[in-house]
Structure formats: C-alpha cells, structure tokens
Amino acid sequence: MAKDRLKKRIDVAAKRIPADTVIKNCKIVNVYSHEIINGDIAISDGKIAAIGSYEGKEEIDAKGNYALPGFINSHIHIESSFVSPEEFSRLVVPHGTTTIIADPHEIVNVCGIDGLDYMINAAENAVLNIKYMLPSCVPCTPWEHAGAVVDAEAMKSVIKDENVFGLGEFMNTVGVVNTDSDVLDKIELCHKAGKLIDGHSPGLTGDELSAYITAGIHTDHESGSVEEFQERLRNGMYVMLRYGSACRELPILLKGVTEQNARRCVLCADDLQPVTIFEKGDIDEKLRICVANGIDPITAVQMATLNAAECFEMRDRGAIAPDKKADIVLVNDLENFKIEKVFIEGKIVTENGTYLPEVKHIDTQKVAGSVRVKDFSTKKLKLNLKTEKANVIRIIPGSVVTEKEVMTVDRTNDGDFRFNKDIDVAKIAVIERHQMTGNVATALIAGYGIKVGAIALTVAHDSHNIIVVGTTNEDMAFAVSKIIEQEGGVVVVNNGEVLESMPLPIAGLMSDRSGEWVKDKLIKIHDKAYNELGVSHDVEPTMTLCFMSLPVIPEVKITDMGLFDVTKQEFINVEAEKN
C-alpha cells in the first residue's frame, strides 16, 4: 500500500479530513459481533476507513437500510451459466454478489491453459471480483477423452499466479485415497505454493474420508445429507451449502446448522443458469432460504460473507469494518433481502437492480472452433443387443446421482434398440469432439421422458463432448450434425427439423450474447423439450443431460468410451446378462 493512501485513510478515520464517500444512516450488520449498529460508513480509496459518524466529499443516504458486506459465492462454474465472465458479472452483481470463487474446469477441459487464460483476462473487464481455482482434474478421470491434459508439470506455470487461489474441486477421490502418484504430485505442488485445495467427495465416509481430508483438502460442496455434513465438519472441513440450478441441498443441510457450527458453513451455487438468476437471484436467494428455514439472519449473512472470506483466507473482505474493501450491499430488510444498492470498492455499481458499469468483452478467438468430430455417422449410434435385458441409466429427478437399473426393452431385427412410447427408455450417446478419435458410445436412459425427436448439446460435464438423447438414430444424428455445424451449443430437433437451438461459440460452452438472450433461448428450448418432445417435467432438460456423462458421481454414467459403473470403477455392457 502506498504510504500516502495509508496516511489518508488514517486521517479520515481520525476525522482530520473528510472521507471520499460516506454512506450515512445505515443499520450496519456487524458479522464479527453479531449485532446491528446504527451509523455511517466512511470510505477512502475503495476501503472502509471507519464506521461511526462521519462526513464525506460525497454523502449517500442509506435511508435506514441494512448495510451488509458484499456477498461471496464460494464455488461456482461460470461456464454453466452459458455466458461469458463479463456478462456473468452483469447478472449477479445486482443480487449483491461482489466476489466469487470460480472453478473454470469446464473450459480448461476443452481448451487447456488457454481456457484459463481467457477466463482470467475476461475477468479484468468485470467489476465482480473473480478469484479462480486451477482445475485439478483435467480430464476428471481416465475414462473419457477431454480437450486437454493438465498434469502437475503443466500446473507449475500457473499455480503461483496471483489470480489463482488454489486447486479446484478434487474429484478424483479414488486417486487421493489410493495415493496415485500423479494425484500426489498435484497436491504437493499446491502445498508448496501455499495454496488451498477444494474438495468434491460425494458419498465418502469413515476412513476413506479421513484419508481424503488428510491430504490437505479444505472444503466440500457435495454433502447430500445432514450426516455427511456433520462428518465433514467434525473432520475440520468448511462445508459449502449448495443451492443452484441443478443441485439444491441447502434446505436439507440447514437442518444440521447450529449456533455452534455455523461459522464453518459457507454458501455456494456450483452451477447457475440465467433463468435461475433472473427468477431467483444468487446468494440473496440463499439468504432468503436460510432465514425461511429458521437460521438467524446475521448467522446467514456470516455464511455469505465472513465465513467465506475466512475459508479462502481473503483478509481484505467479508465484513464492514476498518481496513476492509468497501464492498457493501444495502437491503431493505433481513428477511426478503431486497437489494437497493451495491458498492464495490466504494463505487455504486448497482442501483434498484440496474447494473451501472459498461460491459466490455475481450476477443474470444483463442477459445473458439472447439467442435472437432471425426467420421461420425448414423450407423455409429446403433446398438447390437442380443437380449432384451439391458443396463439402463436411471435418472433421479432433482439429482445428478443416477441409478443402474436392468430393464426389458424392445429390439429391432438386427439387435438395435427400438423406442417404445409405452416404456420410458430412450437412447443416449456421447460423441468425442476434441481429439478426433472418432469415439461414439451409445447406451440407454430411463426417466427422461422424451417421446419423439432428440436433444444434443456440447455442455457435458466434465470433458464436454457432445451428448445426445433421442428416440431414433436419424433424429439423434441430425441433432449432432447441427451441433457440429453451429460450433457447439444446444439443439432440439424432431423429424429432421430444428425446433430450437442456442449456439455457444466460446469453447462450445458459453454464448457471446447477453444473459437475457440466453435466458430467452433456454426458455424456448425447455418449452420445445417439454411440450413437443415430451420430456418429463420432473427433469430439467438441458442441465440433466449435462451431468449424464460425469463419471465421478454414482451410480452409472456414459462417456465417449462407453457405459461406466462409477461404483465399481469399470465399464459395463449395455446388455445386462453379459456383466
């Protein structure tokens, strides 16, 4: 810090000179003392100089509104919003989010370190403070083909970057517990750099959980029950209470939050689509849910601010107090959390829901043109079933966890799957789109509800190959051809006709258009999926498919290499009797 700025801030606090800005007449929520204090907030050069009674060159009347520290989203994948970092800032800042801890493992799986560079550079144009974790598992498993391999050697060039906070969610729990050498190399590298490691350990308990945590893994956002939540707390983890577009465990986990353990709890979204942001918000919505579920409002605010700042060792934010960043949110009450104004480093960036800064975008050429498919044809979608008994991926509504189910299905004369509208089973396929391997894997999925046509997309966690679900090979192949033609995104088709589409030219993951455009496109896509293709209203048509290729979440998934039993850690046949 420049000496003259330090002197100026001290002089402001001592009332020898006026502050740059004073937010007057606030009800200040003090997350340190767990109390509400009436007073002013004096700001100097973007930092809080003092709270009390002050005069400033600029004075803003808070009119008795509550002043909260800027909200921190502790774990988010910007790419899952389908918009660029600059646009994501425009969407969430009006909801009081001033800092996010982002894991760009979607784009890094597609574009490698070039993808991380793009995200870091794009963040420079956002008023939202974006802190990045370095993706730890690219690819997330050896059971699929991604667009890049980021090993410990590749990490050396970026782990010390000041824009990189640590390693992103370590999904390879098996590798950690079994002390795989490559995994330990990454963990050791991170420890030597003095950085943190985020966790991802669904279903891990007992000795295996201890083995995972003792590697130095700091957080977890995958608790699905109060029991898992409590076990992680007892073992010293920060537990992220998740509520996003796909996974919404927050109300369940709040049953385990107490006055004694709340300070180890933080709030996150993980994945957040524009429709959710426009309709519900971001951290502000999670605060409403906390209070509605009986959590003390100041405790809820702590989870959204101070706890998160301490979790990620950000000593310069998370509270309204001297020497903290002047990231401040004014709300009307501590129940509805309607946001009146948002300040970032002392500047008003949102007023009455309007984002005030100009949105500027960087060039995306380096992360464009990411859909490269070799020798794809309709015949590659065919199955060769010698029995009517098949292993099927069973969707669990509202969850990314699936079940393996043996079902009786119809077959054609040559052994291919035949869709039967009276049986809720459709065909699902993954087409490799990065390395020109020509890989196509086909399996069956139940619970999606589709009756006609096909849906294809290039957002398929975590390697983001093309994933397609449909009732006929012809419609599935047509959907894939259109995805290739538009360089990624989402396509809904029926009987050889495109019903709706959303191009995602940035790595096949993100649009270069506005959040409103993306929201409207998603609404139209969902409408076509539900009302013309017959997709079940119990599932979210696109987000559900995004997770059907993620081979780290039980029980069974599909990658470009085949149908994969996550529990057994092995590929299995679609034919049930051949396992």
Cα gap 208→289, rounded to integer Å: 32
368-387: pLDDT as tens digits: 999 999 999 999 999 999 99
Strands of 473-568, DSSP E: 489-494, 497-503, 556-559, 562-565
CA–CA gap between residue 113 and residue 119 (Å, rounded): 10
- What secondary structure letter does DSSP report for 576? G
At residue 578 the predicted structure's pLDDT band, cuts being 50, 70 and 90, is low
DSSP-derived letter for residue 14 is: T
Residue 228 confidence (pLDDT): 97
Give the Cα separation of 305 and 284 in Å (integer): 12
Question: Which tokens go with 430?
Answer: 């993954």
Task: Retrieve residue 418's tokens.
Answer: 């035949």
The CATH architecture to which 70-317 belongs is: Alpha-Beta Barrel (3.20)
Q: Do 293 and 286 form a contact (C-beta atoms < 8 A)?
A: no
Which whole number is the average pLDDT over 478-482? 98
pLDDT digits (tens, 9 = 90+) for 86-137: 999 999 999 999 999 999 999 999 999 999 999 999 999 999 999 999 999 9
Place of tokens 């894997």: 441
CA separation for the pair 254, 265 (Å, rounded): 10
How far does the chain reach from its first CA to its final CA, in angstroms? 65
Beta strands (DSSP E) in 62-157 are: 66-69, 71-76, 97-102, 129-134
Residues of the chain with CATH 2.30.40.10: 3-64
Beta strands in 356-495 (DSSP E): 389-395, 402-408, 410-411, 417-418, 425-431, 440-446, 454-457, 466-470, 489-494
Check pLDDT > 60 for residue 188: yes
Percent of the chain with pLDDT over 70: 99
Q: Which residues on adjacent β-strands are paired with residue 558? A: 563
Closest CA to 217 of 234, 200, 192, 194: 200
Q: Are strands 164-170 and 129-134 parallel, antiparallel or unpaired?
A: parallel
Q: Is residue 553's pLDDT more than 80?
A: yes
User: What is residue 410's three-state secondary structure?
Assistant: strand
DSSP SS3 for 481: helix
- Cβ atoms of residues 427 and 417 within 8 Å: yes
Instruction: Please report, as a single letter, which amino acid is at residue 321.
Output: A
How are the residues of the chain apportioned to helix, strand and coil, as percentages rounded to the nearest 5? 30, 30, 40
- Tell me the mean pLDDT in the region 177-181: 97
Measure CA 462 to chain center: 11
Query: What are the start-end ranges of the E strands in 31-177?
Result: 35-44, 47-52, 56-61, 66-69, 71-76, 97-102, 129-134, 164-170
- Could you tell me which residues are beta bridge partners of residue 56? 19
Contact 74, 240 (CB under 8 A): yes
d(CA 378, CA 376): 7
Q: What is the mean pLDDT of the chain?
A: 96
Residues 418, 429: contact at Cβ < 8 Å?
no
3-state secondary structure 451-465: CCCEEEECCCCCCCC
DSSP 372: -
What are the pLDDT digits (tens) for 39-55? 999 999 999 999 999 99
Q: Which of 134-143, 323-332, 413-422 has the lowest mean pLDDT?
A: 134-143
Q: In angstroms, what CA-CA distances link 496 with 467, 468, 473, 477? A: 18, 15, 11, 9
H and E: helices and strands count for the chain? 17, 30
Q: Name the segment(s) of the chain with CATH classification 3.20.20.140.
A: 70-317
CA distances from residue 551 to 173, 220, 568 in whole angstroms, order as listed = 12, 18, 11
Q: In the prediction, which pLDDT does 579 show?
A: 46
CA distances from 276 to 5, 505, 516 (A): 41, 22, 12
The structure's pTM equals 0.94
Q: Tell the CATH superfamily of the 3-64 domain.
A: Urease, subunit C, domain 1 (2.30.40.10)
The continuous run of DSSP H or E covering 215 comes out as none
> Quick check: 399 pLDDT over 90?
no
Given a cut of 60, whether residue 299 has pLDDT beyond it is yes
| Whole-angstrom distance, CA of residue 416 vs CA of residue 152 | 43
Q: What is the CA radius of gyration of the chain?
A: 25
Cis before 555? omega within 30: yes
CA dihedral sign of residues 291, 310, 166, 233:
negative
